[in-house]
Structure 1
Amino acid sequence: MTRRSATLAVAGALIVALVAVASLFHLPYVVYSPGPVEDTLGEWNGQEVIRIDGAETYPTDGVLDLTTVGVTSADADLDLLTALRAWLDPDRAVVPRELVYPEGTTAEQSRQQNAAMLANSQQNAEVAALRKLGYDIPQTVVVDAVVEDAPADGVLEPGDVVVSVDGTAIATPEDVVAAVTAHEPGETVTFVVERDGEQLTEDIQTIAAEDDGRALVGFSPTLGFDLPVDIEIGIDERIGGPSAGMIFAVAIYDTLTPGALLDGTHVAGTGEISPDGAVGAIGGIQQKIAAANHDGAELFLAPASNCDEAVGGNNGDMHVVPIETLDDAVSTIEAFVAGDTDDLPTCPAT
């Protein structure tokens, strides 16, 4: 063996050893990758994604994609080699694990949390779309879930409408939290709730929260709505989180209005939505832009509060337009379809 051959052999062996060692190092990070997209005006498992009963619907024409982000699972470790490959890929990002998964979060807990946030986003989208269409949708505060063995367990039930706390009328879930935490642990809180058409008065003694010692009774409140139209949204069960809310709302609005809003255009987007139609920030904006671009979208609707983060997103020739409300989303699509793009704002993306 020549000296050159021996040197190359040693170098090769060292590289193999370094790769093997690197694969053993687990880093406290996760990788964001462009995830799959889904056409909310199309079908999933042989059924329309948006199914509506109780109101007249109209044909749509075009593709309206919700976008997703692939994230390292909560029960998977990120090795050095995978992290390095992600750092070198402009469509992926490496972020600290604690920003995505609080310490101790299991994969099942993460799945349940994402499923709950998805369900909430779908409800918000339904309310926002119907309100834009002129429906009067009053809201209540309801018991979402009761913690097992907590003081509220066996007293309150999921679905109970919270009318008042300590004699004060309740309008938002935050009102409930404020009223309960105004007490010291051990004190009693008086709830008036409506269940099956009857009002009940319940006195519940508070206990101290383990993390910060605040008073609690052990249930989570959420907004509730009595919708005059029955809307079902069926998508891939692997999709979770709140970020598809805005796109759901646009899809519902398009389905319930005469004429095809997209008129054959391919639109994608992301954004959390509130019941009043405000669009909020989400995570992984660059990866979602890349996913939409790879799928051939012509227009991407991005939350205005994410616009700065869109810098560096792989948008190609796709227009990335910031929006703040559902009204903005609809008017942006209308302008884009009509070819009136000169006055549309854009997010800086290279």
Structure 2
Amino acid sequence: MLSSLSRLTRPQAIALCALPVVALLAVAGFAPLPFAVAQPGGTADVLGKYEGKPVLKITGAPTRDTKGELRMTTIVATGPQMDVRLGDVIDGWFRTDRAVMPKEAVYPVGDNEKEVEEHNLGDMKESQDDATKAALAYLKANGVDGTDKVKVDADLGKIGGPSAGLFLSLGIIDKLDGDGSGGDLTGGRTIAGTGTIKADGKVGPVGGVAMKTQGAWRDGAKVFLVPKAECGDAQAELPKGMKLIPITTLSGTVDALRALEKGEKVPSC
């Protein structure tokens, strides 16, 4: 082989040696890779309707008519059984409205689409329960009467996962008590964001915040509530003119929204 190469010109030798690499890349271009490609998904106003149905149904206490919007955000990703090729990965890396993530980070329960959907809906149900507990505990701690009789049903269709928890809590608080002084928690604005919630009111991180800020901006939000630990990720592709407010607890989030409404200083990333 070496004697054969020695009789070739330099360009011919380089071309010959490159053939296996070209062949390998060609095969890689058609081989499925263990990645998922995500992009901004839809948003839903928890104070309004989703797919024609009220997101929040509250019984046991009078509710307020609200102004403004509280928009929970989502991402959409290639399905667990969908093949992602090298070209898709390269395209995703170079686009600001796409993100390439390991498939196991998006679908930790495997490739069965039905199991994935059931898992995500289970997470959503648990998140709804924690969101209700956190909101009612907050209201009770702040002197709002009658919370013991309140029941909440949340309906976001087939949207799964726990990342709407914070906004479900905020929606319950706004519908029952507003900003606590007769006004709206939103101040009439379109507020978007994301974050898990625990029954004790602690806000946790989620995934895909850079994609979610873009979806929020597309749907009219100029303020985005983000778990503090994910400020850096949210700033990566932040739309120009969007305000980020870092949050860690439900009570701190309400305080920040009140300050925003009054034109006072609010936390920033």
TM over 0.5: yes
Q: Distance in 1 between matches of 2:240 and 2:43?
A: 17
Residue aligning to 2:170: 250
Structure 2 counterpart of 1:80, from 86, 93, 97: 86
Which residue does 1:97 correspond to in 2? 103
Answer whether contact 2:109 2:116 (CA < 8 A) is retained.
Answer: no
Q: Deviation of residue 104 (structure 1)? A: 4.0
Q: Which amino acid aligns with 2:172?
A: I
Give the residue type in structure 2 aligned to 1:38: A
Residue correspondences, number: 239
Q: Which has the higher helix share?
A: 2
**For residues 136 and 109 of structure 2, what CA distance do their matches in structure 1 show?**
39
* CA distance 1:323–1:76, change in 2 (3 Å): same
Q: CA deviation at 1:44?
A: 2.3
Structure 1 stretch 110-119 or stretch 127-136: which is displaced more? 127-136
Q: Does residue 281 of structure 1 match 2:202?
A: no
Q: Shift of the alpha carbon at 1:266? A: 0.8
Instruction: Note if contact 1:244-1:270 (Cα within 8 Å) is conserved in structure 2.
Output: yes
| TM-score, reference length from structure 2 | 0.82
Aligned residues of 1:272 and 1:280 also touching (Cα < 8 A): yes
> How large is the RMSD of aligned CA atoms in angstroms?
2.3
CA displacement, residues 277-323 of structure 1 (integer Å, 9 cap, x when unaligned): 10001111111111111222121000112122223122321101100
Whole-Å separation in 1 of the counterparts to 2:134 and 2:209:
22
- Match for residue 344 of structure 1 among 237, 259, 266: 266
The offset of 1:344, in angstroms, is 2.0
Q: Does residue 1:316 correspond to 2:240, yes or no?
A: yes
1:60, 1:254 within 8 Å by CA — same for their partners in 2?
Answer: yes
Aligned partners of 1:27 and 1:121: how far apart in 2?
32
Q: Gapped runs of 5+ residues in structure 1? A: 1-18, 137-225
Quote the Cα distance in structure 2 between the aligned partners of 1:104 and 1:293. Answer: 32
Determine helix, strand or coil for the equivalent of 1:267: strand
- The code of the aligned residue for 1:275 comes to A
Deviation digits for residues 258-291 of structure 1 (CA, Å, limit 9, x no counterpart) = 4322131010010000001100011111111111
Instruction: Measure the CA separation in 2 of the matches of 1:287 and 1:132.
Output: 30
Q: How far, CA to CA, are the matches of 1:27 and 1:308 in structure 2?
A: 27
Moved over 3 A (4+): 19-23, 102-105
Q: Does 1:234 align with 2:155?
A: yes
Superposition deviation, residue 73 in structure 1? 0.8
Alignment match, 2:66? 60
Helix, strand or coil: the match of 2:149?
coil
Bigger share in strand: 1
Aligned residue number for residue 7 of structure 2: none
Instruction: Compute the displacement of 1:23 (Å).
Output: 5.5
Maintained 8 Å contact 1:91/1:314: no
SS of residue in 2 equivalent to 1:78: coil
**Which runs of structure 2 are paired with 1:1-350 in the superposition (5 Å)?**
24-102=30-108, 104-134=110-140, 228-237=149-158, 239-257=159-177, 258-340=182-264, 343-347=265-269
State the SS of the aligned residue for 1:33.
strand
| Residues 80 and 110 in structure 2, CA contact (< 8 A), matched pair in contact too | no
Structure 2: 5+ residue stretches without partners: 1-24
Q: Look up the equivalent residue of 2:237 and give its one-letter code.
A: G
Equivalent residues of 1:247, 1:270 under 8 A apart: yes
> What SS does the corresponding residue of 1:255 show, helix, strand or coil?
helix
Structure 1 residues 73-129: Cα deviation after superposition (integer angstroms, max 9, x where no partner): 111111122222211111221111122234743111111110000000111110000
| Aligned amino acid, residue 233 of structure 1 | A
Aligned mates of 2:152, 2:251 — CA distance in 1: 20
